[in-house]
Structure 1
Amino acid sequence: MTGPNPTRLSRLLAMVPYFLARPGIKLSTAAADLGLTPSQLQSDLEQLYVCGLPGYGPEHLIDIQFWDGYVSVVFAAGIDHPLRLTGPEANVLLMALNMLSETRGAAEADAVRSAIAKIEEAMGSTHRAVSADAVAVDEERPVDAVIRRAMEQRRALRLTYYTASRDEVTERTVDPILIKAVDGNTYLEAWCRSSEGIRLFRFDRIESAEETGEESRPPADVVPPEPTGFSVLTGELPTARIEIDPDAVWLLEYYAAEADEELAEEPEGPISATIRYGSPQWLARFLLGFGGRVRLLEDVDGTSSLVATGARAARDRYRA
């Protein structure tokens, strides 16, 4: 494999289809293809033995046989089949993607929009909670792309950084470790050579970034042995309290929402519930989609204004 070293998780996910397409491949050949030593590959194959489907009995776990230096997949535990999402799973994923799209620098904007569009297309219009065309993604700064590319290629960076606590701009050379999204802001976690320690650099305070031409080499004792390779999203999604008409109570089964009280089999009047949402824009589109049958009990993040603006825009289109 070329490019940055894959994480163990990504390796494990790739191994099953790799070996399915190459039954009986020599272990040393597979190790070379995957960029591993034979001992590392054998350790990963032993890890796959305890991976599989819920139930986790012998009949549910991935079965890969390797003996006399050759490898074959006996049971793939569904990895060889396309992933199918339920309505609730798709909507939670869409909310997370929408939240990611609004966190500057956390991910490539076009990739996020493409993922949202593909999920919506697969789920159909009845489950459409987020529109890829309407996702508000700030124009990416060139410096953000430089940082992500250096992270992927394991290259050292020279940063011009504004430190708000000291109200000063400094230049420093850093060795990238991880990109993290924390509470709506994106940070580069890196080894700072001048400070000789790990520091967090907020993307929107990095004024410039350029590769030094050197490989990123943070001290081995400060880097996790198995970095996740994924942005770290901390905290839970925000919540809003809503009121739902009886004929729309079914939405509780399809969205990240919970009724405030135990429901009767056939509610006689509106019920109150708490829903988790990825952004005010998503919440506004969600409310508008129910045509007044779902209402906010308490305004959050200016959502009421977004709903009113959206409703007026829709009415104006009909008039036109």
Structure 2
Amino acid sequence: MTRPAARAGRASADRLARLLNLVPYLLARPGIEIAEAAHDLGVTERQLREDLELLWVCGLPGYGPGDLIDMAFDGDRVTITYDAGIDRPLRLTPDEALALVVALRMLAETPGVANREAVERALAKIESAAGDLAGAPVEVRLPGDNARVRELRAAVERGRALRITYYTPARDETTERTIDPLRMLMVGGRAYVEAWCRRAEAVRLFRADRIDAVTELPEQAVVPPQARPHDLSDGVFRPSADLPLITLRIGRGERWITEYYPCERVEADGEQWLVSLRVTDLGWARRFVLGLGPEVTVVAPAELAEQVRAQAVAALDAYASPAGSATPAGSADPAATGVTR
């Protein structure tokens, strides 16, 4: 199962862009045939008709007669008869202008943003139009925009190779690596360095908050020609067939897993769901399952089920009385740890 929320978000964004273009397009072509408009806009006639139906309920606040976009149909031709002011020049209020200035400043500071020059040109135009308001004492700081991120960004812009000390939670280990940075990225509110890792001999993503130490080397970064940036359109983690596949039986309270993690298979099993997903390694999967509630049971692989059972039993033993006579009241029973025996 792919990530339905992500697909729905992209579809909604695509439809919003179409609707924003649709009204001025139709205003410039009164009486155009729906088939011709669909061809020009790159959509099917059915999709265009659905977009036109949605425009009926779009318009100005109040959303009553005289506020909503209106159209006239003559057979297969359509004409916009009221555009709800969409053709009027935009006049920003002081608050709107300041909000745009802050947003553009933040975008200009985002690591890895494409075409920064275009952002800076747009910012200059808005600041010029805003006048004295643009000089308001507003400080823009991104999430995670700390000294380490600024240090990494400066090194990447200078094109230097870096020696880093990096913590990998999936293996619970810290390693020393020499990397040749490609770019800085901001994904899901976290900063990353994408770089050629000389240790792994491959392109890797390093989370800035997991870099314990960084040294800028005097040598320039040299990225091999075979190095290619990752496609992060679906997030940082990209499951592949060579990663371990685990299957869990989950209850209603844990169905959020299917929205938060990319799943290969989701099947109904009575009131429960069978969920299969790829993981970086079984060590991470063990910690993941142990952090979930009693509504989760490991179905496969057997190795993971045994690891979870063993660690759950060890945790229960740690709560046992010195004489080992009984499990303290309130402690979980091994049968409730989400483990298939």
Is the TM-score greater than 0.5?
Answer: no
TM-score interval, smaller chain: 0.3 to 0.5
Structure-1-length-normalised TM-score: 0.44
Structure-2-length-normalised TM-score: 0.42
Structure with more contact order per residue of length (Cα contacts < 8 Å, sep ≥ 6): 1
Point out the structure with max Rg over C-alpha.
2
